[in-house]
Amino acid sequence: EVVVDVQAVARDLLRRYAVDGLHIDDYFYPYPLQDAASKADVDFPDEPTWQKYAAAGGPLARADWRRDNVNRLVQRLYAAAHEARPGTRVGISPFGLPRPGLRPPGIAGFSQYDKLYADVELWLREGWLDYLAPQLYWPRAQAAQAFEPLLQAWMALNPLGRPLHPGLFTSRIDATPQSWAPEEIVGQIDSIRRLAPGSGHIHFSMAALAQNRRGIADLLRSGAYAATRP
C-alpha cells in the first residue's frame, strides 16, 4: 500500500511539473528512538503487518523482511519514475557509512543496514538509482568516519559506475564554538576532485552559502568555484 502510494505521487510529480528528477533522503525506516528509562532502542511498531506476513508463510526473518520492504519501494519507485518520464533522474542520499563488513579498516559507527533497513549497496549493484549522494558529514581528520576512505569505499561499491555526488555538511559552519572552519569544506571538495574526478557534490544546506557563514561563499567563489566547469 505504501509502495503504491509513493509510486502514484512520483508519477504525478513527473507528469505535471517540470522537475528534473526525484531525490530521496536518508529516511527509510525511521532512525531509532531510545526509551527514556532504559536508554535501549525502541523497536519500530510494525507487529500487526509482521504477524500478517509470518502467518501467510513469509520466509524472511524480521530484519530481512523490513529490508525487503524498503528494497521493493526503491525498485518500484525507480521503475515508476522512468516510466512516467524517460530520462529523468532518481537519486538517493543515504547515511554515509557502508554496511558493516564492507567498510574500510578503522571505520565505525551507525549501521543503516541494521537500523534503517537500507541496503544501499544492493541498490547500487542492481542499478535502482541514477546517482548516489552519500552523506559524508564528518571532518577529514575524524578517524572513525574519515572522509577520504569513505569516499573511496563508496566508489568501490559502485559496480555500474553510477554518478557519485557526496553530500557535504556545510551547515556545520556556524557561530558556535564547535563550528567547522570553512577550509574543511574546501578541503573536502579538493579530496573529491582528486579521488573522484568528474564527480559533483551537494551542500547541506544552502543556508550556509546564502548566509556566507564565516566567509565560506567568498572562499568558494575565489577558489574551488572560480573556474567554470563543463
CB 193 within 8 A of CB 160: no
pLDDT at 159: 98
pLDDT at 102: 98
At 41, phi and psi to the nearest 5? Answer: -65, 140
Q: Tell me, letter by letter, the H, E, C secondary structure of 89-137.
A: EEEECCECCCCCCCCCCCCCCCCHHHHCCCCHHHHHHHCCCCEECCECC
* Cell of residue 34, nine digits: 531510545
Q: What share of the chain is helix, strand, coil (3-state, %, to 5)?
A: 45, 10, 45
User: pLDDT tens digit string along 119-178?
Assistant: 999 999 999 999 999 999 999 999 999 999 999 999 999 999 999 999 999 999 999 999
pLDDT at 229: 63
* Cell of residue 47, nine digits: 507487529
Look at residue 57 and give its three-state secondary structure: coil
Which segments in the chain show pLDDT lower than 70?
Answer: 229-230
Which pairing describes strands 89-92 and 21-24: parallel, antiparallel, or unpaired? Answer: parallel
Cis peptide before 205 (omega within 30 of 0): yes
